Amino acid sequence: MGPSAPRHSAEPRLALSLAAAVAAAGIVVLSGLAVPPGGVVPSGAAVQAHEPDGPGTAAMDFVPPAAGSYALPPIMRAPDGPVVDADGRRLRLSRFTAGKITLLGFIYTSCADARGCPLAYQVFHTVRHRVSEDAELHDRVRLVSLSFDPARDTPAVMRHYAAGAPPSGVEWAFLTTARPRALVPLLDGFGQDVRIEVDAHGRPAGPLAHVLKVFLLDEQAVVREIYTTAYLYPEVIMNDIKTLRLEARRERKVVR
């Protein structure tokens, strides 16, 4: 194990090719989401599995670099679109991506893959706890869990899911969308790969799968890091959050 791990933004790791199945079944891939002809995701097509993402480990096998000792170059601007919060209010996603350093992940509440959404939830919970104990970060960081299973993850379901995260003073928003069509541009904008297999008649023919990704955004809603399970550790994320905070403080001093 070396003294530290090189930092670089995670490249999207696509699922195994379904080119032959796509050609045979007439699947349309739109914004990272495979949908049947006609462009409507079947309302009953819920997420069932995560793509394999390497063997899981309980502890890091690398030492993350110290906060502020590296840069996190801008990757892309976060997309915006209509979302629904856990209280049923229709809002814009930009309400939850700007103004604070934001950790955002796509989830679905019925996920049973221990290395998928439950892992992200655990990491978010740990990061939130550590942020709550840091006076410099407490009011400057938020977490966002956005469902990509709107057919099942209604506001009431998201509210129940959110109940597992006790109040800590650090914002954690649990969001969904009113319909799958509203979700597609958000998936496209973040580059979140989701796959639905359908048959020639547009009916789901297999599970919907995705690669677990978590996005770190700066206060201007620009994505600065993308984590898959290889780097999804609280220690890494906290150092990245502190790095963005140090960067923001330096920029404000220059302006003054």
pLDDT tens per residue across span 200-225: 765 444 455 778 899 999 999 999 99
Range of the domain at 162: 75-191+208-255
Q: Write the CATH number for 83.
A: 3.40.30.10
pLDDT of residue 191: 93
Mean pLDDT value across residues 217-241: 96
The model's pLDDT over 67-115, given as tens digits with 9 standing for 90+, comes to 999 999 999 999 999 999 999 999 999 999 999 999 999 988 888 777 8
Domain presence at residue 84:
yes
pLDDT at 132 over 60: yes
Q: Is 193 left (phi over 0), alpha (psi -120 to 50) or beta?
A: beta
Instruction: Report pTM.
Output: 0.76
Residue 4 lies in a domain: no
Percent of the chain scoring above 90 in pLDDT:
54
* More confident position, 251 or 190: 190
Whole-number pLDDT of residue 197: 58
Contact present, 205 and 45 (Cβ < 8 Å)? no
- 120 located within any domain: yes
Instruction: Tell me whether strands 82-85 and 171-176 are parallel, antiparallel or unpaired.
Output: antiparallel
Task: Provide the number of structural domains found in the chain.
Answer: 1
| pLDDT confidence band for 7 (50 / 70 / 90) | low
pLDDT top residue among 126 and 38: 126
Would you say residue 171 lies in a domain? yes
Token reading at 59: 């502890």
Judge whether 56 lies within some domain.
Answer: no
Mean pLDDT taken over the chain: 79
The answer to whether residue 35 is domain-embedded is: no
Q: Which parts of 177-233 are beta strand (E)?
A: 194-195, 208-210, 214-217, 222-227
In a domain, residue 10? The reply is no
Residue 43 forms part of a structural domain:
no
For 143-168, write each residue's pLDDT tens digit: 999 998 888 899 999 999 999 888 88
